[in-house]
Amino acid sequence: MTVPPQFFKRDVIITCGTGGVGKTTLSAAMGIRAALEGRRVCVITIDPAKRLATSLGMKELGSEPQDLTERLRASASAQGLALPEKASFHALMPDTRSTFEEFFRRLTSSSVVLDQLIKNPLFQIFAREFSGTNEYMALQQLMKLYDSGQFDCIVLDTPPSRNTLDFLDAPKLLNQLFDANIIQWLIRPANKIAEATVKKALGLLEKLTGATFMHHMLEFARGLFEIRTGFSKQLNRVIELLSSDKTGVVLVTGAHADFAEELAHFRRHLLSHGLKLDALFVNRTLGAYPELSSENLTEAKMNPELSRSVELIQSLRTRETQALSRLKHATGDLPTTLMPELARDIHSIEDLIYVARQI
């Protein structure tokens, strides 16, 4: 294997990029490569397509770290590699609801408040449907694993770049729900006039939605008010970790010029959030393979069918080189690694080890 890239020194590696280019597979391979270097690794995915389990050769992943160390050790041994004794490899896919409940449990010491919140029908809807909840809960899972000290390298596989705003803005989006002014307006009117206004507004809403709904809404608001301080602290810790030197971002894309504009926008958005960009991975490329020697080219030209194949490959290489130039320019000339086009999809740890060795 080559010398590991600089980003392997980070405690947290976030992989981001365009959809359908093998980002989740590469995230798993990065985790395996880090484990082969002796690190204790956990790979988390919030990609809704759930491809991480497929790449690992599994039907599904649980919401708690699943220990795959011995499977990796056996697969590495079969390929003549030794997994260091101190190394470990885990993977998980957070379950939004269970993570959400656990998160609220950590924010309040009052079992009464917690019980009221969790049993509230609006809590169930919120945990399932509120925009950004899934992404933010993955970040909370990341913080939990980071705080546990069980892992020294966490790889976070994010959704495709069209959902970048959801991923990066989820903490601030959820924080708006905990806006003390809004909650206090509902449950603690500042004066008699405001109190009368709120009662009138709530009375109208009761007629429209039913008294039961308004009761649940007020109980939900009171619960949020009780935990808002703890939430703000957790929010700040997440933001601090993402923007610190402990966290680095790896961009993943395909060898197509059409991705350049999207990556440029992506890069600007990541930098605006204070994240550190470490590398660009261009997946499924011909450029990862060596050029044919002059002798092989001469021999190929003597065979008409082989000659046409070589011409096609050279043409694809030329287009790929032009695309790479645009991609590198769009991402500020980040250190770039070309990953090879493979003959088949990745469906096992054995396959992932091969990819890991190319990093």
User: For residue 130, what is the domain's CATH number?
Assistant: 3.40.50.300
Give the residues across from 336 on adjacent strands.
Answer: 280
Per-residue pLDDT at 111: 75
Q: What are the angstrom distances between the C-alpha of 290 and each of 6, 76, 257, 287, 355?
A: 24, 26, 22, 7, 17
Residue corresponding to tokens 């806006």: 179
Helix or strand or coil: residue 90? strand
- Please name the amino acid found at residue 242: L
Per-residue pLDDT at 205: 46
At 100, which helix (H) or strand (E)?
helix 96-107
**Residue 113 within a domain:** yes
For the record, the structure tokens of 343 come out as: 């003959």
- Please name the amino acid found at residue 233: K
Non-local (6+) Cβ contacts of 206 within 8 A are: 213, 214
Distance of CA 325 to the CA centre of its chain: 27
Q: Range of 135's domain?
A: 6-356
284 in the Ramachandran plot: left (φ > 0), alpha (ψ -120 to 50) or beta?
left
* Residue ranges with strand state E in 255-347: 277-285, 336-340
CA distance 222 to 186: 9
274 in the Ramachandran plot: left (φ > 0), alpha (ψ -120 to 50) or beta?
left
**Residue 276 within a domain:** yes
**Residue 191 within a domain:** yes
Q: What is the DSSP-derived secondary structure letter of residue 158?
A: P
Find out whether 141 and 44 touch, Cβ atoms under 8 Å.
yes
**Residue 348 within a domain:** yes
Q: What are the angstrom distances between the C-alpha of 348 and each of 28, 55, 75, 179, 316?
A: 11, 6, 10, 46, 29
Model-level pTM? 0.79
Instruction: Tally the domains of the chain.
Output: 1
At 111, which helix (H) or strand (E)?
helix 111-119
**Residue 275 within a domain:** yes
Per-residue pLDDT at 12: 96
Which H, E and C letters describe 38-60, residue by residue?
A: CCEEEEEECCCCCHHHHHCCCCC
Give the sign of the dihedral formed by CA 184, CA 188, CA 191, CA 194.
Answer: positive
CA distance 64 to 94: 7
For the record, the structure tokens of 227 come out as: 């935990």
Digitized pLDDT (tens) for each residue of the chain, 359 residues in all: 666 678 888 999 999 887 788 899 999 999 999 999 999 999 998 766 677 888 888 888 888 899 999 999 999 999 999 999 999 999 998 876 676 677 777 777 677 777 777 777 766 666 665 555 666 677 878 888 999 999 999 999 987 755 555 667 766 665 665 554 544 544 454 444 444 554 555 454 455 445 566 566 666 666 666 676 777 777 788 889 999 999 999 999 999 999 999 899 889 988 988 999 999 999 999 888 888 777 777 777 777 777 877 788 888 889 999 999 999 999 998 999 999 988 788 889 999 999 999 98
**Residue 1 within a domain:** no
For the record, the structure tokens of 103 come out as: 């998160």
Q: What are the angstrom distances between the C-alpha of 14 and each of 25, 28, 209?
A: 13, 12, 43
**Residue 330 within a domain:** yes
